[in-house]
């Protein structure tokens, strides 16, 4: 081969493009920045919708401040059976029910007033087990106590009623008073305080 330059040997020089390391670095940095920004934005959105914050507690601390207990209610005070006078009135066609029921109530500590047939407004017109009728003041006092003795009886109040006595009007479905053990349990449940409510607290 003529000319000033001559190639000898069996190896030829290979021409390679220069490596562009700088461009690769720039692309890598840009990708990291984009991913980081997207992740930060997502966290901000979650924070906005959940009401969280940098100071929000986690784990057991968060569970501890999630609810706030209020003081327990005081036991409910109810009158003793011995302070309640009951008039036992029979509204059915079965004779002897009023006296028999009055005797059982007396054994359970109640005072017995009148024992007779029901007045015309109730006579043969009470389809359930019975009706308990008392003054307005007896709604949360004497009526629930007597109501524990006859499950299912309807409880009514009369604002115009005078005196503290309660009428027990025996209805057609009446068979007997509630068993004393069951009545005592029902009465005990009435005097138990209600569970203390809990309120959620934002932490």
The gap between the terminal CA atoms of the chain, to the nearest Å, is 89
For residue 76, what pLDDT is reported?
Answer: 74
Q: Which residues contact 41 (CB under 8 A, 6 or more apart)?
A: none
Instruction: Give the number of other Cβ atoms within 10 Å of residue 89's Cβ.
Output: 25
Which is nearest to 168 in space by CA: 76, 75, 181, 108?
Answer: 108
Q: Which residues contact 80 (CB under 8 A, 6 or more apart)?
A: 109
Which is nearest to 97 in space by CA: 116, 123, 119, 120?
Answer: 116
Q: If you count them, how many residues does the chain have?
A: 203
- What fold does the segment set 80-189 form as a domain? Alpha-Beta Plaits (3.30.70)
Asked whether 113 and 87 are in contact (CB, 8 A), the reply is: yes
For residue 23, what pLDDT is reported?
Answer: 57
Domain boundaries, the chain: 80-189
For residue 107, what pLDDT is reported?
Answer: 98
CA distance 186 to 78: 13
For residue 192, what pLDDT is reported?
Answer: 83
Instruction: Give the number of other Cβ atoms within 10 Å of residue 130's Cβ.
Output: 31
CA distance 141 to 84: 10
**Can you give the pLDDT of all 203 residues of the chain as single tens digits?**
455 545 555 555 555 555 555 555 445 545 545 455 555 555 555 554 555 555 555 555 555 555 555 555 566 789 999 999 999 999 999 999 999 999 999 999 999 999 999 999 999 999 999 999 999 999 999 999 999 999 999 999 999 999 999 999 999 999 999 999 999 999 999 988 666 566 555 55
Q: What is the DSSP letter of 90?
A: E
CA distance 9 to 79: 123
Supply the pTM of this predicted model. Answer: 0.61
């Amino acid at each position: 081969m003529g000319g000033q330059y001559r190639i000898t040997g069996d190896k030829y020089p290979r021409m390679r493009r220069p490596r562009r390391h700088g461009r690769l670095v720039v692309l890598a940095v840009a990708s990291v920045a984009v991913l980081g920004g997207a992740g930060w934005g997502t966290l901000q959105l979650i924070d906005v919708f959940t009401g969280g914050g940098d100071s929000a507690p986690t784990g057991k601390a968060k569970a501890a401040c999630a609810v706030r207990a209020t003081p327990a209610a005081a036991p409910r005070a109810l009158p003793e059976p011995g302070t309640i006078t009951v008039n036992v009135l029979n509204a059915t066609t079965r004779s002897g029910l009023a006296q028999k029921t009055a005797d059982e109530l007396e054994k359970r500590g109640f005072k017995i007033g009148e024992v007779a047939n029901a007045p015309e407004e109730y006579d043969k017109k009470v389809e359930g087990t019975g009706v308990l009728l008392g003054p307005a003041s007896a709604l949360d006092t004497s009526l629930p106590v007597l109501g524990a003795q006859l499950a299912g009886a309807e409880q009514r109040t009369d604002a115009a009623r005078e005196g503290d006595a309660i009428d027990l009007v025996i209805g057609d479905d009446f068979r007997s008073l509630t068993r004393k053990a069951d009545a005592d349990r029902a009465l005990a449940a009435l005097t138990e305080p209600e569970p203390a409510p809990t309120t959620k607290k934002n932490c």
